[in-house]
C-alpha cells in the first residue's frame, strides 16, 4: 500500500472519530425532567437557563420559611440557589439548598423526586425509588411533594464533598418540591446519613413553615 493511500485512510479515520465525538456532545441528558436546567456547564451563554424574570419569586410570588436554629446560612454559590445552609452533625457536614428557576422552569414535582431517588444506589441493586419514602401535603394552600431516600449517592449538584469517582456510601437526602405562586421551589438537604437523619424534624418544620411572600 503506497504512502498516499495510507495518508488518505488516516484522514478518513480522523474525520470519522471527530464526527462521532461531535454526535456524543450533542446528545441531551436523559435523566432530567423537562424544563430542568443543565447540571453541567453550558458550552455557550445561549445554552444556559434563561434568567429569572425581574421580580419573579419575590414579593407576592416569593416564599419565605423559618430556618432551623442550628443551621448556618451561607452565600448561595450559584444564581440558581435562592438559599443555602450548612448543616453540621455526627457524620460531617451536610448541605440544604433551595432552588428556584422561575416560571415554566425546573420540571414538575414528581419527575424531580424520581430523579433525586435515581441519584442513589442500593447495595442490593433495588431501584432507590422503591426504597424511598414519598409524601404529599398542603402547606399554606400550596401542594408540597416530599421525599426521603438513603444509600450510595452518585449525584453532584448539592452533596458536600461528593466524589466524582463513584457513588458515596452512607448518604441521605431529604427533599421537598413546593408549588409556589408562580413556579416550583426545590428544597434539598443532602449529606452523610448520620448527619441528615437527625434533621428530619428540623427539615419538616422548615417545610411546614412555608408561606407566601417574603
Q: Is residue 118 part of a domain?
A: yes
Q: Which residue has the higher pLDDT, 44 or 175?
A: 175
Q: Which residue has the higher pLDDT, 104 or 160?
A: 104
Question: What's the pLDDT score for residue 93?
Answer: 97
- Which runs of consecutive H residues, i.e. helices, occur in 60-122? 109-118
Closest CA to 153 of 143, 144, 163, 145: 163
Question: How is residue 101 written as a grid cell?
Answer: 428557576
Q: Is residue 208 part of a domain?
A: yes
Per the DSSP assignment, residues forming a β-bridge with 52 are none
d(CA 127, CA 123): 10
With cell 437557563, the residue in question is 49
* pLDDT of 84 strictly over 70: yes
Domain of residue 72 covers: 60-212
Confidence of residue 49 (pLDDT cuts 50, 70, 90): low
Confidence of residue 154 (pLDDT cuts 50, 70, 90): confident
d(CA 56, CA 178): 15
Per the DSSP assignment, residues forming a β-bridge with 185 are 100, 178
Question: What's the pLDDT score for residue 18?
Answer: 43
Q: Is residue 27 part of a domain?
A: no
* Spatial contact of 144 and 208, defined as CB atoms under 8 Å apart: no
Question: What's the pLDDT score for residue 60?
Answer: 87
Phi-psi region of 180 (alpha: psi -120 to 50; beta: other; left: phi over 0): beta
The Cα-based distances of 211 to 60, 100, 138 in angstroms read 10, 15, 11
* pLDDT of 12 strictly over 80: no
Q: Is residue 164 part of a domain?
A: yes
With cell 424574570, the residue in question is 53
**Percentage of the chain modeled with pLDDT above 90:** 60
Can you give the CATH number for the domain in which 134 is found? 3.40.1000.10
Provide the 8-state DSSP code for 70.
Answer: T
* pLDDT of 166 strictly over 80: no
Per the DSSP assignment, residues forming a β-bridge with 174 are 148, 189
Q: Is residue 186 part of a domain?
A: yes
Q: Is residue 205 part of a domain?
A: yes
Which H/E stretch holds residue 63? strand 63-64
Provide the 8-state DSSP code for 46.
Answer: G
Domain count, the chain: 1
What is the chain's mean pLDDT, rounded?
81
Question: What's the pLDDT score for residue 201?
Answer: 98
Neighbours of 155 (CB within 10 A): 20
Please tell me the pTM assigned to this model.
0.74
Q: Is residue 151 part of a domain?
A: yes
Greatest Cα pair distance, the chain, in angstroms, is: 79
Q: Is residue 178 part of a domain?
A: yes
pLDDT tens by residue, 107-149: 999 999 999 999 999 999 999 999 999 999 999 999 999 999 9
Amino acid at each position: 500500500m503506497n504512502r498516499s493511500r495510507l495518508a488518505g485512510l488516516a484522514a478518513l479515520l480522523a474525520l470519522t472519530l471527530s464526527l462521532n465525538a461531535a454526535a456524543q456532545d450533542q446528545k441531551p441528558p436523559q435523566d432530567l425532567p423537562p424544563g430542568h436546567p443543565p447540571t453541567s456547564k453550558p458550552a455557550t451563554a445561549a445554552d444556559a437557563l434563561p434568567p429569572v424574570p425581574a421580580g419573579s419569586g419575590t414579593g407576592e410570588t416569593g416564599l419565605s420559611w423559618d430556618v432551623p436554629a442550628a443551621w448556618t446560612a451561607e452565600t448561595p454559590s450559584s444564581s440558581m440557589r435562592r438559599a443555602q445552609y450548612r448543616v453540621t452533625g455526627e457524620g460531617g457536614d451536610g448541605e440544604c439548598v433551595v432552588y428556584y428557576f422561575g416560571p415554566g422552569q425546573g420540571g414538575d414535582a414528581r419527575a424531580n423526586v424520581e430523579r433525586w431517588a435515581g441519584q442513589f444506589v442500593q447495595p442490593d441493586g433495588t431501584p432507590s425509588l422503591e426504597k424511598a419514602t414519598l409524601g404529599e401535603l398542603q402547606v399554606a394552600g400550596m401542594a408540597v411533594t416530599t421525599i426521603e431516600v438513603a444509600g450510595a449517592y452518585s449525584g453532584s449538584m448539592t452533596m458536600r464533598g461528593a466524589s466524582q469517582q463513584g457513588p458515596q456510601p452512607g448518604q441521605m437526602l431529604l427533599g421537598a418540591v413546593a408549588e409556589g405562586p408562580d413556579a416550583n421551589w426545590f428544597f434539598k438537604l443532602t449529606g452523610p446519613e448520620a448527619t441528615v437523619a437527625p434533621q428530619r424534624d428540623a427539615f419538616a418544620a422548615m417545610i411546614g413553615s412555608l408561606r407566601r411572600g417574603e
